């Protein structure tokens, strides 16, 4: 999942605390400020004219430098990840409640939360590798939408996303975004290998292929706040390769599961 807010000036994605132009060092910040006021100040050595700019919005505290590199979780983040995992497992069981105690039902209820969490953690760890603060957070609207999906025939899994506080450049943003789908592609290929090694479990392992292929495919669509929009903007070749592999795993997994 990606960040939910878009800067109206530079078009980049940010969390709720940093979507304002003043809060992420927007390169087009001048367009968000009123006309400047010129003042003249005196100096003992020379006369100089200084230009003062008044922000349109008051500045809030934000990270002014990157954090020390390292992988870590806060207590709040662990709580949010745990709730997200529980919601994901419930969504998995809601597909076919009558199969909840079957091998397929249990497998789906275990693999789906793992696939979702590893996707989000991959975003987080990649950001932290660049020295960028990143933590998973539940979003109220997403949680409510996910809860509604439990009783709806249309399933939507969007309890939260990884929030990034520090400014990033295009390359870092692309690498952070592609990390999540790459994990799902790896898991899909892993289950694909097991599918041929353990033929007696093919009816179960095909779920892992399809599920991870679909998660990667959905997130790689280059629209809105999805990962694909930033990956395509950064590197079209990488986006195309990952998208096609995700499409193949989704089609193959769905076909063998029928």
pLDDT in tens, 5-37: 677 667 777 776 666 766 777 766 655 544 444
* pTM beyond 0.85, yes or no: no
| Catalytic residue flag (residue 171) | no
In the chain, where the domains are located: 75-257
Helix (H, G, I), strand (E, B) or coil at 113: helix
Are the C-beta atoms of residues 35 and 43 closer than 8 Å to each other? Answer: no
Using alpha carbons only, what angle is made at residue 182 by residues 178 and 188, rounded to the nearest 5 degrees?
A: 150
Q: What is the dihedral of CA 157, 228, 69, 9, to 10 degrees?
A: -100
User: At a CB cut-off of 8 Å and minimum separation 6, what does 102 contact?
Assistant: none
pLDDT digits (tens, 9 = 90+) for 154-201: 888 889 999 988 777 899 999 999 999 999 999 999 999 999 999 889
Are the C-beta atoms of residues 104 and 110 closer than 8 Å to each other? Answer: no
pLDDT digits (tens, 9 = 90+) for 45-82: 443 343 333 333 333 334 445 555 567 889 999 999 99
* Widest CA span in the chain: 88
User: Which residue is catalytic, options 77, 120, 135, 173?
Assistant: 120
């Amino acid at each position: 999942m990606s960040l939910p807010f878009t800067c109206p000036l530079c078009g980049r994605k940010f969390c709720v605390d940093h979507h304002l132009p003043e809060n992420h060092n927007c390169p087009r910040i001048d367009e968000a400020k009123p006309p400047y006021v010129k003042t003249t100040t005196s100096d003992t050595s020379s006369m100089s004219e200084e230009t003062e700019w008044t922000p349109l919005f008051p500045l809030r505290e934000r990270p002014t430098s990157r954090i020390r590199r390292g992988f870590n979780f806060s207590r709040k983040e662990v709580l949010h990840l745990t709730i997200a995992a529980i919601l994901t497992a419930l969504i998995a069981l809601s597909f076919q409640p009558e199969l909840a105690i079957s091998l397929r039902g249990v497998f789906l209820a275990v693999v789906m939360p793992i696939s979702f969490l590893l996707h989000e953690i991959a975003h987080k760890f990649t950001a932290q590798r660049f020295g960028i603060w990143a933590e998973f957070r539940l979003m109220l609207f997403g949680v409510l939408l996910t809860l509604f999906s439990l009783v709806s025939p249309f399933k939507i899994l969007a309890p939260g996303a990884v929030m990034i506080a520090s400014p990033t450049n295009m390359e870092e943003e692309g690498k952070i975004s592609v990390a999540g789908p790459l994990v799902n592609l790896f898991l899909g290929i892993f289950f694909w290998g097991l599918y041929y090694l353990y033929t007696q479990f093919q009816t179960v392992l095909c779920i892992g292929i399809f599920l991870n292929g679909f998660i990667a495919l959905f997130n790689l669509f280059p629209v809105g706040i999805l990962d694909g929009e930033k990956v395509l903007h950064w590197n079209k070749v990488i986006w195309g390769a990952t998208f096609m592999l995700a499409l193949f795993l989704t089609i193959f997994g769905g076909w063998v599961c029928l």
